[in-house]
Structure 1
Amino acid sequence: MPGDDSAERKHAPATLRNREPIAKVLQEELPVTGKVLEVASGSGEHCAFFAELFPGHVWQPTDPDPSALGSIVSWCAGLDNVLPPLALDAASADWPVDAADAVLCINMAHISPWEATLGLLAGAKRLLAKGSPLILYGPWRREGVATASSNEAFDASLKARDPRWGLRRVRDLDAAADAHAFARTRLVEMPANNLMMIYRR
């Protein structure tokens, strides 16, 4: 993996487990070329992996946490198709990006207030041309599908940390997306009881 051994570098263990399944879906859903805006990039490990795998795309990582921005720089050092990370709070109406050809958001909705996901939808509507994908990944609740016991325990731990956090319902996301003229075009079951969902206008 590119990058140096800076002390700023963070590591998210789940990245190694989910990056290849996520990449498989991205290969099917991303445009052939263009700018991919990653909202809530976290450690930067996903961005570094995907940028190497999809060299024809320009990757724009973002995160609201200043310490995450340093980690992203460390992981993505040496990758010519990764732009410098930007501070972006999904819940804000003021995004430092004017346009993108795809928006990717991994594991944000459950560890942030619901307002962040609503802001993500609003921001994607501003940035994306019609037909361009908004792609989300993470653990979600589905109507008529039992939630795995591990996800129930995860949900309880999240709410204990912050009552505004927790697993969201797919139907609630669909309704919020519809209010921003997005429709879900695909739902993919992923390893470890996660889902990947694609929305387009």
Structure 2
Amino acid sequence: MDKPHAPATDRNSEPILEILRERFADRHEVLEIGSGTGQHAVYFASALPWLRWQASDVAANLPGIRLWLDEASLANTPPPVEVDMRKPWPDIPFDAVFSANTLHIMGWPEVQQLFAELARRMPAGGLLMVYGPFNYGGQFTSDSNARFDTSLRAGNPASGLRGFEEVNALAASAGLALLGDRAMPANNRCLIWQRSAAQRG
């Protein structure tokens, strides 16, 4: 089996890393939801050695992630674990969650389940960072995002770009307050939320 490779991951890794360096400077254990190929896990764990970077994905993607992690042989990347929104999560310690290009792949019920799990599991003061394309005010932010949405829905009608307002409402229901919303290359966004220090996971 060859290592899976996503060219978009090569392009977005450095812009994302700039924000991770700032926002995750005081973090210790990161759970990555939807690690995909495993490229981000290796890139970020190598650049941020103080973080324990826990890759996760649905079972079908774990072998490819293992190839990337095994080749890199980093001390701060444990074996990937299965995290599937349709199944109970394993018991994983974390004080931050990162996810890139996942919410538009999941069906909306799975997006809702993600935030329901975070409501139960996110510790006080925990951070959530999500990268990807979003709609605002029910509108696409670019023609390319509109075309991307059409292609997603052609492959899977349950997928599609999510509205920022709807996702932010889910985050609020999980006790997460928006800290930042940054424009990123290729009409993507980086959204950061934090759970109140007064709350308990």
TM-score under structure 2 normalisation?
Answer: 0.91
CA contact (8 A) 1:31 1:102 kept: no
SS in 1 for 2:179: strand
SS in 2 for 1:36: strand
Residue 34 of structure 1 deviates from its aligned partner by 1.0
Map 1:43-82 onto structure 2 (within 5 A). 43-66=37-60, 68-77=61-70, 78-82=73-77
Task: Provide the residue aligned with 1:87 in structure 2.
Answer: 82
Decide which moves more: 55-64 or 175-184: 175-184
Are the structure 2 counterparts of residues 116 and 74 from structure 1 closer, same or farther at C-alpha, using a change threshold of 3 Å? same
Are the structure 2 counterparts of residues 97 and 75 from structure 1 closer, same or farther at C-alpha, using a change threshold of 3 Å? same
Residue 8 of structure 1 deviates from its aligned partner by 4.0
Looking at structure 2, the residues matched to 103 and 193 of structure 1 have their Cα atoms a distance apart, in angstroms, of 22
Residue 100 of structure 1 deviates from its aligned partner by 0.6
Task: Provide the residue aligned with 2:18 in structure 1.
Answer: 24
Decide which of 175, 178, 182 is 1:184's aligned counterpart.
178
Looking at structure 2, the residues matched to 27 and 108 of structure 1 have their Cα atoms a distance apart, in angstroms, of 21
Are the structure 2 counterparts of residues 145 and 102 from structure 1 closer, same or farther at C-alpha, using a change threshold of 3 Å? same
User: Which digits, 9 at most, give the CA deviation of each residue in 1:122-180, with x for residues without a partner?
Assistant: 22233322221111000000128752101100000111111110000000001111111
Give the letter for the 1:161 counterpart. G
Decide which moves more: 15-24 or 141-150: 141-150
Task: Provide the residue aligned with 1:3 in structure 2.
Answer: none
SS in 1 for 2:75: coil
SS in 1 for 2:104: helix
CA contact (8 A) 1:60 1:82 kept: yes
SS in 2 for 1:147: coil
Looking at structure 2, the residues matched to 107 and 46 of structure 1 have their Cα atoms a distance apart, in angstroms, of 11
Looking at structure 2, the residues matched to 69 and 8 of structure 1 have their Cα atoms a distance apart, in angstroms, of 13
CA contact (8 A) 1:91 1:118 kept: no
CA contact (8 A) 1:91 1:115 kept: no
Give the letter for the 1:75 counterpart. W
Are the structure 2 counterparts of residues 140 and 32 from structure 1 closer, same or farther at C-alpha, using a change threshold of 3 Å? same
Moved over 4 A (4+): none
TM-score under structure 1 normalisation?
Answer: 0.91
Map 1:92-171 onto structure 2 (within 5 A). 92=87, 94-143=88-137, 147-171=141-165
> Unaligned stretches of 5+ in structure 1?
1-6
Residue 91 of structure 1 deviates from its aligned partner by 4.2
Task: Provide the residue aligned with 2:198 in structure 1.
Answer: none
| Percent of aligned pairs sharing the same letter | 38
CA contact (8 A) 1:98 1:127 kept: no
Task: Provide the residue aligned with 2:199 in structure 1.
Answer: none
Give the letter for the 2:83 counterpart. L
Looking at structure 2, the residues matched to 161 and 145 of structure 1 have their Cα atoms a distance apart, in angstroms, of 21
